[in-house]
């Protein structure tokens, strides 16, 4: 059973389009992280959201943490080919840390 | 400062042999994690160390897998009698705080060890 469910699993869009990736759980997390992973590399942290309802912006990326701290979303505005990669959400609970299954994003020029 | 380092970066071994993977966490980080990632898949949690406390081993795939963390710093993941299904990228991460501590649980990853069992 996947504690963190991500959707969509795959996304292929044209450069300039907007997109949203969702991360949902039935569990409450003290914080959620979003990572981006490129082929052959380890995941790299994009952002950590801690407070319910929190919104963080990182250039063209907007991250939101749900009010109940069970879900999060990542919105990319005007996607660019450099945004291509695997996007992972993650959260911790006591002795375990959970990652979502990931969203593979391909932005075509 | 230096990030998380892992060695070797690549390992090719024969079925049935033992392998040892090493992880050097970021200095000052108390938490250390091991994950496994198969090609094109998400991360599978294996084990987590918090300081010098005994880890929860329930995430390890089988009793052929073991992990140690010496002196609360360097960690080794050992796979005995390797099987072809053990082939994957093994990722190590460290964090300042434990899971459930809010922003301090953010993990920083090493580049991984790519294991291929022939």
- Counting one residue from chain A and one from chain B, the pairs whose CB atoms sit within 8 A come to 71
pLDDT confidence tier of residue A2, bands split at 50, 70 and 90: low
Mutation target to probe the B interface, by most B beta carbons within 10 A, among A27, A49, A92 is: A92
Say which residues have a Cβ less than 8 Å from residue B53's Cβ, sequence separation at least 6.
none
For residue A98, the chain B residues in CB contact (below 8 A) are 45
Tokens 């504690």 sit at which residue?
A3
pLDDT digits (tens, 9 = 90+) for A39-96: 888 899 899 888 899 999 999 999 999 999 899 999 999 999 999 999 999 987 666 7
Record the tokens describing residue A76, joined without a space. 């990319």
Distance from CA of A51 to the nearest CA of B (A): 9
In this predicted structure, what is the pLDDT of residue A31? 83
Asked if residue B37 lies in contact with residue B110, where contact means CB atoms within 8 angstroms, the answer is no
- CA angle B65-B68-B72, nearest 5°? 155
Residues of A with CB under 8 A from a CB of B: 30-31, 33, 35, 41-45, 48, 50, 88, 90, 92-102, 104
User: Strands B88-95, B19-24: parallel, antiparallel or unpaired by DSSP?
Assistant: unpaired
Q: CB-CB: which of A31, A88, A100 is closest to B102?
A: A31
In a mutational test of the B interface, the residue from A21, A97, A98, A104 whose CB has the highest number of chain B CBs within 10 Å is A97
- Signed CA dihedral, B27, B29, B30, B36: sign only: negative
Tokens of A66: 């749900």
Report the pLDDT value the prediction gives residue A95, as an integer from 0 to 100.
65
Question: Does A1 have pLDDT greater than 70?
Answer: no
pLDDT of residue B43: 87
Q: How far apart are CA A57 and CA A52, in angstroms?
A: 15
**For residues A13 and A81, what is the distance between their CA atoms, to the nearest angstrom?**
9
Where b means 16+ CB within 10 Å and e means fewer, A74-95 reads: bbbeebeeebbbbbbbbbbbeb
B108 contact partners, CB below 8 Å, separation of at least 6: A45, B3, B4, B26, B29, B93, B94, B95
Kindly list the averaged pLDDT for each block of 10 residues, start to end, along chain B of length 118.
89 97 94 88 86 82 93 91 96 84 78 96
CA B25, B51, B29, A32 dihedral sign is: positive
CA–CA separation, A30 vs A32, rounded Å?
7
> Are B99 and A88 in contact (CB < 8 Å)?
no
pLDDT value of position B50: 87
Residue B112 contacts A where some CB pair is shorter than 8 Å? yes
Q: What is the DSSP string of B52-87?
A: TSPP--TTSSSTTEEEEESTTS-EEEEESS--GGG-
């Amino acid at each position: 059973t996947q504690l963190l469910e991500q959707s969509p699993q795959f996304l292929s869009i044209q450069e300039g389009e907007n997109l949203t990736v969702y991360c949902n759980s039935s569990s409450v997390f003290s914080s959620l992280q979003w990572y981006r992973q490129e082929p052959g590399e380890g995941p790299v942290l994009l952002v950590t959201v801690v407070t319910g309802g929190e919104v963080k912006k990182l250039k063209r990326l907007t991250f939101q943490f749900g009010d109940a701290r069970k879900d999060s979303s990542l919105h990319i505005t005007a996607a660019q080919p450099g945004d291509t990669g695997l996007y992972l959400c993650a959260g911790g609970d006591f002795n375990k840390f959970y990652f979502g299954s990931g969203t593979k994003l391909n932005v075509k020029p | 400062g230096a990030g998380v380092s892992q060695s070797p970066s690549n390992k090719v071994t024969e079925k049935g042999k033992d392998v040892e993977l090493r992880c050097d966490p970021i200095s000052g980080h108390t938490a250390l994690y091991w994950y496994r990632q198969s090609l094109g898949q998400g991360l599978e949690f294996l084990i987590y160390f918090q300081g010098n406390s005994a880890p929860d081993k329930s995430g390890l795939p089988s009793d052929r897998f073991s992990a140690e963390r010496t002196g609360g710093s360097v960690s080794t993941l050992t796979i005995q009698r390797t099987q072809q299904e053990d082939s994957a990228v093994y990722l190590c991460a460290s964090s300042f705080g434990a899971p459930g501590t809010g922003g301090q649980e953010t993990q920083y990853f090493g580049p991984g060890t790519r294991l291929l069992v022939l």
